[in-house]
């Protein structure tokens, strides 16, 4: 574990160039460039805030805002996990030829996902301010929740990116899983609308608590549930450590799989 932080420090320049490449390379050649990372979630938001209140008749006050504070972090989660799954596989060529700490690859994908989200969250805060809800001091808790999300995403990406090298089917499975998970997280609906018998399933999903916490501080403007967040922090750190060891175990044969 100490080795991880030493490697990250020694190879910080690689991490930095990788994150930059990830962000800039994603929209290379597109006219609107990085603006796409703003436009994508906004367009999605527009579509959903028409479909759910007007067509599916979900009755929640200020639904667009309700959706916004959950949908943007969720978009960050899905796109990061999806890209993170490929993180090692797409770099097979380099892995075969040079040594560098392989964990840089998943970490830089997750980091760039979070940087991307920070850009979109500017739009989110803009919406909140001009959309009538405003910001309260609770919004200062935003970085803490984001940090939790970051740790959880790295843990998951460690595992997925390493296993995908050996089981390529995982890429497709992850896409499917994320779609299911979207409806298994209270993003477009409220937690109350779930039958009590099924609520425990949702509570097993770490993203439920992340999304709820974002919503607490930004939409309901109240203290998040610290007990839940504390448990989540423990789970997140455990996931991170377990993920790291799985990655380290599997990385030894990476070069022979390409």
Partner 1 sequence: MKDKHDKTIAITVRRVNKDFKLFYDKANTLKEKLLFWNRSKNDILHILKDINLDIYKGETVALIGVNGSGKSTLLKLMTKIIYPNSGYLKTYGKLTSLLELGAGFHPDFSGRENIYFNASIFGLTKGDIDKRIDKIIEFSELEEFIDNPVRTYSSGMYLRLAFSVAINVDADILLIDEILAVGDQHFQEKCYKRLEELKKDGKTIVIVTHALDVVKSFCNRAIWISEGVVKMDGDPKKVVGAYLNDCR
Q: Quote the least distance from Cβ 89 to partner 1, whole Å.
A: 14
Q: Quote the least distance from Cβ 116 to partner 1, whole Å.
A: 20
Contacts of 211 (CB under 8 A, 6+ apart): 70, 73, 74, 185, 186, 187
Q: Residue count at the site for partner 1 (CB under 8 A)? A: 21
Residues between 30 and 49 that touch partner 1 (CB under 8 A): none
- CA-to-CA distance for 48 and 171, rounded, in angstroms? 26
Q: Does 97 bind partner 1 (CB under 8 A)?
A: yes
Contact between 8 and 102 under an 8 Å Cβ cutoff? The reply is no
Q: Does 167 bind partner 1 (CB under 8 A)?
A: no
User: Out of 5, 55, 59, 99, which residue is the one contacting partner 1 (CB under 8 A)?
Assistant: 99
3-state per-residue secondary structure call for 173-226: HHHHHHHHHHHCCCCCCCHHHCCHHHHHHHHHCHHHHHHHHHHHHHHHCCCCCH
Largest distance between two CA atoms of the chain: 56
Half-sphere exposure of 41 (CA within 13 A, CB side): 28
Residues between 237 and 256 that touch partner 1 (CB under 8 A): 252-253, 255-256
Q: What string marks each residue from 57 to 96 as x (binds partner 1 by CB under 8 A) or -?
A: ------------------------------------xxxx
Q: Does 5 bind partner 1 (CB under 8 A)?
A: no
What are the residues binding partner 1 (CB under 8 A)? Answer: 10-14, 16-17, 21, 28, 93-100, 252-253, 255-256
């Amino acid at each position: 574990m100490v080795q991880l932080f030493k490697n990250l420090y020694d190879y910080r320049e690689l991490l930095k160039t990788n994150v930059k490449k990830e962000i800039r390379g994603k929209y290379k050649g597109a006219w609107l460039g990085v603006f796409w990372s703003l436009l994508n979630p906004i367009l999605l938001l527009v579509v959903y805030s028409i479909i759910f209140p007007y067509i599916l008749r979900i009755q929640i006050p200020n639904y667009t805002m309700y959706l916004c504070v959950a949908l943007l972090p969720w978009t960050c989660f899905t796109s990061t996990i999806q890209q993170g799954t490929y993180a090692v596989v797409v770099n097979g060529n380099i892995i075969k030829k040079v040594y560098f700490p392989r964990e840089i690859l998943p970490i830089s994908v997750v980091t760039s996902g979070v940087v991307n989200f920070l850009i979109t969250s500017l739009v989110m805060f803009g919406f909140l301010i001009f959309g009538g809800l405003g910001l309260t001091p609770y919004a200062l808790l935003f970085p803490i929740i984001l940090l939790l999300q970051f740790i959880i995403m790295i843990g998951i990406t460690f595992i997925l990116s390493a296993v995908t090298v050996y089981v390529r089917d995982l890429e497709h499975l992850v896409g499917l899983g994320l779609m299911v998970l979207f409806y298994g997280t209270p993003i477009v609906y409220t937690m109350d609308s779930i039958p009590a018998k099924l609520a425990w399933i949702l509570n097993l999903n770490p993203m439920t608590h992340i999304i709820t916490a974002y919503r607490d501080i930004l939409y309901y403007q109240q203290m998040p549930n610290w007990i839940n967040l504390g448990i989540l922090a423990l789970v997140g750190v455990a996931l991170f450590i377990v993920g790291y060891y799985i990655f380290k175990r599997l990385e030894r044969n990476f070069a022979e799989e390409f």
